[in-house]
Structure 1
Amino acid sequence: MRFDGRVAIVTGAGGGLGREHALGLARRGARVVVNDLGGARDGSGGSATAAEGVVAEIEALGGEAIANPASVTDFDAVQAMVEAAMSKWGRVDILVNNAGVLRDKTFAKMDLEDFRFVVDVHLMGAVNCTKAVWEIMRAQNYGRIAMTTSSSGLYGNFGQSNYGAAKMALVGLMQTLSIEGAKNDIRVNCLAPTAHTRMTEDLGAALPLDQLGPELVTPGLLYLVSEDAPSRMILAAGAGGFERAYVTLTQGTRIVGEDAAEQVAARIAEISDRAGEIVPEMGAAQGMIELQKAQAALRG
């Protein structure tokens, strides 16, 4: 798997997962924009030092890279970052939306500003970066975009309502962009990593951290942005394990009438039966299944 001639932007690449992703791409021939605001885990502060350090590592490997300190929440700065890549290399083939922050608290204790900020970084940060490269990729008829989702979004996690909401939103973004980008060979996927980085340092002894190196996640990322990448995949990765997550839809049943609410309650096991469940190609599949039930009932 090679990336010779490809140009990649990796956000939040000054350390942890982003650093490993940037190094992994560079080792396989990609030219890399190493983006990192250089702020604290909660998003405060900023410094270009982290990104410059990763650029130095890539150059020591014989690769090409440039550092960029833009905040992904600043669309003008993101556009300038993309313009710098275009000016230097003439194209952008790969975008890895990895930048993130944490402001964990239970929902009862969380300020709305902390909720809003986490959503702004994770969701709108990915939107800003994707929007800035979208027309370039459409014109090239080639693009590979990876969103960083999380098991906290897919399945929930105590104290992370803001983070989980943002991470699940990225799955919805991926679902639609993969449909809209298909005709221009823009493939969009989600990576759900488990890794020991500063984002998980508070877990301490709760996890075998020596088995959760971020470098064990990067092979999955490389696949998701490769020339032969899939599209609309949610790939989970950690400790050398790889799994796939799906958003599925059961076949369910049809219930109408004055006691429909009571019947829904009484037949919830039937509605939940996973026999014959599907992974819809698009949202309209739900409505089609429901209409098919209604039409079948009318036919008797």
Structure 2
Amino acid sequence: MGNGLCRDRVVIVTGAGRGIGRAHALAFADAGARVVVNDVGVALDGSRTGEGPAADVVAEIADRGGTALASTHDVADFDAAQALVDDTVERFGGLDVLVNNAGVVRDRMLVNLGADEWDAVMRVHLRGHFATLRHAGAYWRAESKAGRTPDARVINTSSGAGLLGSVGQANYSAAKAGIAGLTVVAAAELARYGVTVNAIAPSARTRMTEDVFADMMARPDDGFDAMAPENVSPLAVWLGSAESADVTGRVFEVEGGKVSVAQSWRHGPEVDKGARWDPAELGPVVTDLLAKAPAPEPVYGVGG
């Protein structure tokens, strides 16, 4: 099976029934991992479909000689996320890697965005990342305190929309930005327990991106499909392996054959008066600060 980079590691992949999550599950299995394929089975907008994509991916893994378990737990349900972790530990004897990938979209311009559309996206993306991470983190903390220090990994899924913003996706962008923030906090808090936490911001052809990036979705004639979801998974597998122990609190952008490290918010140029500012003083101060700072990256969807 594959290169054995994650041989015998136990991996949960959420939202693994289709797209990038499915590619992750297959890639981890090919690398020797035992995989829990989690997918609640819903349409793109989060409504239930009654389909069984998780079981289909498990069958694919079995056909390739791998070991996998299907899960239909709703990761945004706090108790169900606990059950997902518990079931994994009971079935495979532990947990080494959590890949948070599940998501939905409800795209709409901000002035037309409904509260229910905001809440639905926040629930699956941000709460879904939090709930699984919280319970997996508690498991690893208990293992560490019992003298069995984990060599554990979390790979979260942010987005270029979360890092830079995307017109028509205020809810999705905010949720993905929240995931980037959650990643760096979790990396700081869980390091003492033998856990690294990183995030990837993938760009690939999935149900969630086919409308946003329609002009990039044409399959090429040169044999390399730069938008194939399978291009994202090698980095996820490496981040889930023992080799990545020194990498944590980072966000990586992945598209086709490109991998880059995203630059986070940083302290920039400053002016210290040493006393409270008068509002009338701040115009030229702000102008000077902005002149010294690099220009921000453009928001996706803004014409140049």
Q: Do they fold alike, i.e. is TM over 0.5?
A: yes
Q: Does 1:222 align with 2:237?
A: yes
1:150 maps to amino acid: S
The structure with the largest helix share of the pair is 1
Whether 1:252 and 2:270 are equivalent positions in the alignment is yes
Q: Retained in 1: the 8 A contact 2:210–2:217? A: no
* Conserved? CA contact 2:6–2:237, under 8 Å: no
Q: Is the 8 A contact 1:17 1:214 kept in 2?
A: yes
Equivalent residue number for residue 295 of structure 1: none
- Rounded to whole Å, the distance in 1 between the matches of 2:217 and 2:36 is 32
- Distance change in 2, residues 1:120/1:205 (3 Å): closer
Letter of the aligned partner of 2:154 in structure 1? Answer: I
Question: What is the correspondence of 1:259-278 to structure 2 with a 5 Å cutoff?
Answer: 260-272=278-290, 273-274=292-293
2:128 is matched with which residue? 125
Q: Which runs of 5+ in 2 are unaligned?
A: 220-225, 295-304
1:265 to partner: Cα distance? 2.4
**Structure 1 gaps, min length 5:** 276-300
2:116 aligned with 1:113: yes
Identity %: 36
| Preserved contact between residue 17 and residue 215 of structure 1 (Cα < 8 Å) | yes
Contact 1:178 1:186 in 2 (8 A): yes
Counterpart among 236, 260, 266 of residue 243 in structure 1: 260
Q: Alpha carbons of 1:112 and 1:205: their partners in 2 closer, same or farther (altered >3 Å)?
A: closer
Residue 175 of structure 2 is aligned to residue 147 of structure 1: no
Greater relative CO (CA pairs within 8 A, separation 6+): 2
Residue 259 of structure 1: how far off its partner (Å): 5.3
SS at match of 1:231: coil
| Counterpart residue type for residue 179 of structure 1 | A
CA displacement, residues 176-201 of structure 1 (integer Å, 9 cap, x when unaligned): 11111111111001100000011112
How many residues get paired?
275
Return the offset for 1:260: 4.0
Q: Which residue of 2 aligns with 1:195?
A: 204
Residue deviations 1:69-109, cap 9 Å, x none?
Answer: 11111122222222221111110110000000000011111
Q: Deviations over 1:221-277 (max 9, x none)?
A: 1222221221011100012111111222214221355754344321335434349xx
Name the amino acid aligned to 1:75.
Answer: F
- Aligned pair in 2 of structure 1 residues 48, 134: CA closer, same or farther (>3 Å)? farther
Q: Could you report, residue by residue, the CA deviation over 1:7-53 in whole angstroms, capped at 9, with x for unpaired residues?
A: 00000000100001111111011000000011000000143511111
Q: How does 1:169-180 map to 2 (within 5 A)?
A: 169-180=178-189
The 1:46/1:77 distance shift into structure 2, 3 A limit, reads: farther
What's the C-alpha RMSD, in Å, of the aligned pairs? 1.8
* Equivalent pair of 1:47/1:69 in contact (CA under 8 Å): no
Aligned to 2:208, the other structure's residue is in SS state helix
Q: Match of 1:159, SS?
A: coil
2:103 equivalent to 1:100: yes
Instruction: Report if the CA contact (8 A) 1:37-1:46 is conserved.
Output: no
